[in-house]
């Protein structure tokens, strides 16, 4: 092979002609069936995305409402636990004999043969 031999040279030709005198072919119009299928596909996809967006928004609203209700119920639970603790403490006090005597005296009860004197409060 010679140094200038064209056997090793690759030539690339453009499929488009770059000749200024040649006109380009206009794009072919789509078949009406293809156009109709594309419009139907576009409408279906648009409907799907709108529906999914509405569902997502609705679900987020329901989640927020349930979280608010949960917060209210948790506050109620804390209050009820405090009340339960107070009631348990009162139950333990009611089992004490001295406490029961004190409560009875506050209600106006007295023991047999006992006289109760009302003393005025001193300033």
117 within 8 A of 111, measured Cβ to Cβ: no
pLDDT 10s digits, 64-96? 999 999 999 999 999 999 999 999 999 999 999
pTM of the predicted model as reported, rounded to 2 decimal places: 0.51
Identify the segments of the chain with pLDDT beneath 70: 1-7, 11, 13-23, 123
Q: Rounded CA gap, 63 and 73, in Å?
A: 15
How far apart CA 94 and CA 114 sit, in angstroms, is 23
């Amino acid at each position: 092979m010679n140094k200038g031999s064209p056997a090793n040279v690759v030539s690339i030709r453009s499929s488009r002609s770059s000749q200024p005198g040649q006109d380009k072919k206009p794009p072919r119009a789509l078949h009406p069936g293809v156009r109709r299928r594309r419009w139907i596909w576009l409408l279906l996809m648009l409907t799907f995305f709108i529906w999914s967006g509405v569902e997502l928004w609705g679900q987020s609203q329901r989640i927020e409402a349930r979280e608010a209700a949960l917060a209210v119920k948790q506050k109620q639970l804390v209050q009820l636990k405090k009340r339960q603790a107070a009631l348990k403490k009162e139950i333990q006090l009611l089992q004490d004999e001295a406490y029961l005597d004190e409560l009875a005296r506050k209600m106006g009860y007295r023991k047999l043969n006992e006289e109760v004197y009302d003393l005025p409060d001193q300033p």
